[in-house]
Amino acid sequence: MIRIGIVGSGRVAYHLTKGFLNSSLHKDIRLEGVYARDKVTLSTFLPSAFIINDLEDLKNADVLLIAVSDEAINEVSFLIPFTDKIIAHTSGSTPMEVLSKHDRRGVFYPLQTFSKEKNVVWNEIPIAIEATSVTDEAILQKIASALSGNVLRLNSEQRVALHASAVFVANFVNHMFVLGHEICKKNNISFELLKPLIKETAQKVITLSPKEAQTGPAVRFDHQTIERHKTLLHSFPEGLYLYDVITKSIQNVHKNNISFSQK
Amino acid sequence: MIRIGIVGSGRVAYHLTKGFLNSSLHKDIRLEGVYARDKVTLSTFLPSAFIINDLEDLKNADVLLIAVSDEAINEVSFLIPFTDKIIAHTSGSTPMEVLSKHDRRGVFYPLQTFSKEKNVVWNEIPIAIEATSVTDEAILQKIASALSGNVLRLNSEQRVALHASAVFVANFVNHMFVLGHEICKKNNISFELLKPLIKETAQKVITLSPKEAQTGPAVRFDHQTIERHKTLLHSFPEGLYLYDVITKSIQNVHKNNISFSQK
């Protein structure tokens, strides 16, 4: 039996808690409790016996997952009064070494964008793990597999790369939606119209490589269309600036095959 | 009975042809023929009787849809030897006036990204129409409805805005995939890992507004994570430059609520 304690009450802690509570896959894994500042959100689905007020109450846990904001991980790790447990954080960009107070430290990074309003399908979410020993790695592997069919080992440097890549394909993508939405709003066009296109664009890269999937005026070097768009955007400087920079970047990448420089 | 002729053999012509051929919704709409330079791709699914060698052979058509590259629309419109038909182009950013040779001109713009390798679900694709008379508008409305449940009237200015918005939410989004893919490749990480996140990011804006859906280090002003990403990207100048510009734009938009200026 592996007993899991969770520390945190943000979006990741919320979905981890839900995930472990609903996981019936592994009978030998148990959620011991959640230490949370914000008890209100958790109490909507978590029986009160699981909500812990004192870190000491997690003394029977084998693994503590710290799901707090990146800046707080180090501080929280110093509040944990145990030396016999695996202490793992859940951050994509934070090195494992931030937990250096603990000998049995690790990382348990689920690669997904979490909102409280929306359930997630844990089984599809890749979980990247890292630990200081093969034994601890096997334990993290086991609890990750209770949630997901897609568990992998990554070192801290690879994990930062994965996280940076995720920023491009998720956070920056969403910013493109924000700007597109703004253009629609200004011109009395419903953003609803763009939803089939948004869906199709995401689906295309499931089967084609992103480079093959590139379409649009930039990659066609269609100056006339680009100029028409820029004229339209002249009263929206933020949109115009991004339009220009990204159009040039598309042209750069497709013309010069720009890539990471050789070390 | 409305008879449709298609002029062109690119991706839009290809999918329009397939769409009208498969549409059993409207018995009073018929595909008359396709005038195409590239007959090879069409002949994989189009009976040869439909493939037209001479524009004169479209004399029985009521509507001709010009599905050629934007720059060629005007030129092609001069080759069409009829004055009694509706001549409509299928471009998002081209004004209807480019067809000024024809009195009965129009626009029939399907908002989607088309690849020959991938079938499209026509019924979900918004089609924006424009015409010079109410009668012609009704005709275009009717044939658009044979393909899609989502037909709307937009004037040329609104259509450019919709098209510019589509560039952000589709072409620019795909460029973010290209850059994310490049980061993965360089760091020996499979791009497959990012696919659930890509899917979820697209799904999120179906239910949340893009602004509510924004997550990540930029909107959190998480400087430590941003610096870690920038360090990783220092040997990939194109990626680093875009990372910096888009991070600042996210922070700008969320801090200052930047938008179109008031006219």
φ, ψ for residue B210 (rounded to 5)?
Answer: -55, -40
Residue A257 scores a pLDDT above 90 = no
Tens-place pLDDT, residues B150-162 = 999 999 999 999 9
Rounded Cα–Cα distance for residues A178 and A170 (Å): 12
**CB distance from B257 to chain A under 8 Å?**
no
- Name residue A30's beta-bridge partners: A3
Cα-Cα end-to-end distance for chain A? 46
**pLDDT score at B26:** 64
* Minimum Cα–Cα distance from A204: chain B residue: B118
Residue B262 scores a pLDDT above 50 = no
| Among A233, A167, A143, CA closest to B225 | A167
The whole-number average pLDDT for the span B12-41 is: 86
Rounded Cα–Cα distance for residues B122 and B206 (Å): 19
| Poorest-pLDDT segment among A234-248, B72-86, B106-120 | B106-120
The whole-number average pLDDT for the span A245-251 is: 97
pLDDT band at A106 (very low <50, low <70, confident <90, very high): very high
Residue B169 scores a pLDDT above 60 = yes
The whole-number average pLDDT for the span A121-150 is: 96
The whole-number average pLDDT for the span A86-114 is: 95
CA dist list (Å): A97 to A134, B116, B203: 17, 49, 35
**pLDDT score at B128:** 97
**pTM, 2 dp:** 0.90
Q: Would the CB atoms of A200 and B120 count as touching at under 8 Å?
A: yes
Rounded Cα–Cα distance for residues A169 and B133 (Å): 44
**pLDDT score at A262:** 46
Q: Would the CB atoms of B196 and A111 count as touching at under 8 Å?
A: yes
**CB distance from B169 to chain A under 8 Å?**
yes
pLDDT band at A53 (very low <50, low <70, confident <90, very high): confident
What percentage of chain A has pLDDT greater than the value 70?
Answer: 96
The whole-number average pLDDT for the span B10-14 is: 91
Q: Would the CB atoms of A205 and B225 count as touching at under 8 Å?
A: no
pLDDT band at B115 (very low <50, low <70, confident <90, very high): confident
Instruction: Say whether A226 sits in a helix, a strand or coil.
Output: helix
Residues of chain B with Cβ-Cβ distance to A224 below 8 Å are: 70-71, 93
**pLDDT score at B60:** 95
